[in-house]
Structure 1
Amino acid sequence: MSEHNKDVNLKPYLLGGIAVISIALSVFLIQLFASQKPLNSHYEPVSLGPSLPLSSSTEDYLDVPTPQIPEYLKAEPSEIEQLIEALVSLLVQEHSSEKHLPSFHASLKEMRNDLIQSYPDTGAEIFERIIRTAFPELVDDILALLAMLDIYDEWLLTNILDLNEMPALQQQGMFWQKRYEIFGEELAEAIWEKERSAEEDKRESMLSTV
């Protein structure tokens, strides 16, 4: 067989091989596309419609703080409730006649501080409940005066070293100057009425001696 005949006879085999390869490649591409379709369907776009209300099951994973009822309100009567009732009774029975005096209002600071020391988390609230129950018409005046006393006490603590180094007369002058500044002259005189009376008595005694 001549070289020309060999070339002619090989062409059908060559064309058949190309056709087989093309078919195999097509089948591979079809299978590859089919295998990727479920993966793509998992990420279907989500339509942005109106939001739906959350179901009750969301409570399991939403970190939303729930208001808690204070412990002293859960039991009736509790130790705290008995304490409030006793202090209200004490104030009404023994101090009703002086409930309008600024000096009496100032004296309530000790009760408030004791309650805060005994009950750090709720002491201030307990004190307000006591005052609101005992003297409801005076609660705003009492709380405002105690707030001013806190400012005055803070000034004393800040300046205690300098005040201790002053002569007594100069020290008293600084006290009254700050009191007038915070409370006003009339209210300051009413709060420290006993102290002012004692100072006047001492001054009169010194003048009498001279």
Structure 2
Amino acid sequence: MGRILLAEEGNSTASVLLEELHRAGHDIEHVESGAVALQCILTSPPSLTLLDMELPHVNGLQILEKIRARSDHPIIMLAARTDEADRLRGFEFGADDYVCKPFSPREVVVRIDAVLRRSAQLRRIAPPQVPISFEVKRGFAVLEGHGLPLTRTELLLLRALSQEPGRVLTRSKLLEVAFPEALDVNERAVDTHIKNLRKKLATLSTTHSWIRSVYGVGFAWESRARHQA
């Protein structure tokens, strides 16, 4: 199993979680300072980090941003259930998953295993083999050698998603991309355009869903290479 870094202040929740992680076969290191957590990840990266949003000295989002500038190290954020804005920012910054407090230690173990499996798969996969290009003025994308007529909004959404395969983009981020000049567009407009975009992508493949939904957060682009791994 993997070596897990738990970066969380306080021992009340940590002790129960540590026990469950040990039972699952993981080696655990527990730190309570953001500065110490950042140093640990940079100098001796664990298999995965459980990163509390509210760490002293350097908070979880600051650590996440610094790490993502250097690596794809697997990170699961620990966030209070009421901190929706921070959770969404966590995904924008590149978090692999998040767990709401109070949480079930068993759920955390299951999420760790899922993220570690996904991370291992991605390390075995070469860069996406699906070429995609865009003809913005002519209003279409070229995917797997096939032209795909798109509206301007669909094209902007597809370009944003496909530039970062596997990464979850929040609805608010996609709203900024697709409607840069609009002030009163609801985030649900993104869902409508994604639905239409999926229908067009389905004409290229009925067996592969190019766009993955992440409930309550947003969407991610899944190339065929990743999907088939």
Higher strand share: 2
The TM-score, its normalising length taken from structure 2, stands at: 0.24
| TM-score, L = length of structure 1 | 0.26
Larger Rg: 1
